[in-house]
Amino acid sequence: MSRTALNRLDPRGRKVKILATIGPASRSPDVLRRLLKAGADAFRVNMSHGEHKDHADTIAGIRALEKEFNRPIAILADLQGPKLRVGQFKDGQAVIRHSGHFTLDRNPEPGDETRVCLPHPELFCVLEKGQRLLINDGKIRLRVIKASEDKILCSAEVGGLISDRKGVNVPDAEVPIPALTEKDRRDLAFAMEQGADWIGLSFVQRPEDLAEARKLMSGHGALCAKIEKPMAVRRLSEIIEMSDGIMVARGDLGVELEPQEVPPLQKKIVNAARTAGKPVIVATQMLESMIESSTPTRAEVSDVANAVYDGADAVMLSAETAAGEWPEEAVTMMDKIAEQVERSEDYRARVRFLDTPPDATTSDALAHACMTIADTVAISAINVFTSSGSTARRVARERPDTPMLVLTPSIKTARRVALLWGAHSVATKDIGSFEEMIAKGKRMALRHGFGKAGSKLIALAGVPFGTPGATNLLHVVTLTGDELNKREG
List CB contacts of 330: < 8 A, sequence separation 6 or more: 20, 287, 290, 296, 317, 320, 321, 324
Q: Which of 34, 37, 85, 214 is the catalytic position? A: 85
Active site residue 284: yes
Q: Which of 4, 11, 2 is nearest to 426 (CA)?
A: 11
Active site residue 146: no
State the amino acid at position 280 in one-letter form: V
From residue 132, alpha-carbon distances to 411, 458, 462 in Å are: 47, 54, 53
CA Rg, the chain, in Å? 24
Q: Which of 338, 336, 260 is nearest to 305 (CA)?
A: 338
238-249 burial, b at 16+ Cβ within 10 Å, e below that, comes to: ebbebbbbbbbb
Q: Which of 383, 388, 386, 385 is nearest to 403 (CA)?
A: 383
For residue 43, report the phi and psi dihedrals to the nearest 5 degrees. Answer: -130, 140
Q: Which of 284, 391, 413, 471 is the catalytic position? A: 284
Active site residue 226: yes
List CB contacts of 354: < 8 A, sequence separation 6 or more: 271, 274, 275, 311
List CB contacts of 168: < 8 A, sequence separation 6 or more: 84, 85, 86, 118, 120, 133, 134, 135
Active site residue 129: no
Dihedral sign, Cα of residue 193, residue 194, residue 200, residue 203: negative
Q: Which of 14, 71, 226, 416 is the catalytic position? A: 226
Dihedral sign, Cα of residue 34, residue 36, residue 37, residue 39: positive
Q: How far is residue 375's CA from residue 372's CA, in Å, rounded to a whole number?
A: 5
Q: Which of 17, 44, 399, 442 is the catalytic position? A: 44
Angle between the N-to-C axes of helices 362-376 and 390-397, in degrees from 0 to 180, rounded to the nearest 10: 50
Inter-residue contact 202 to 46 (CB < 8 Å): no
Q: Which active-site residues does the annotation give?
A: 44, 85, 226, 284
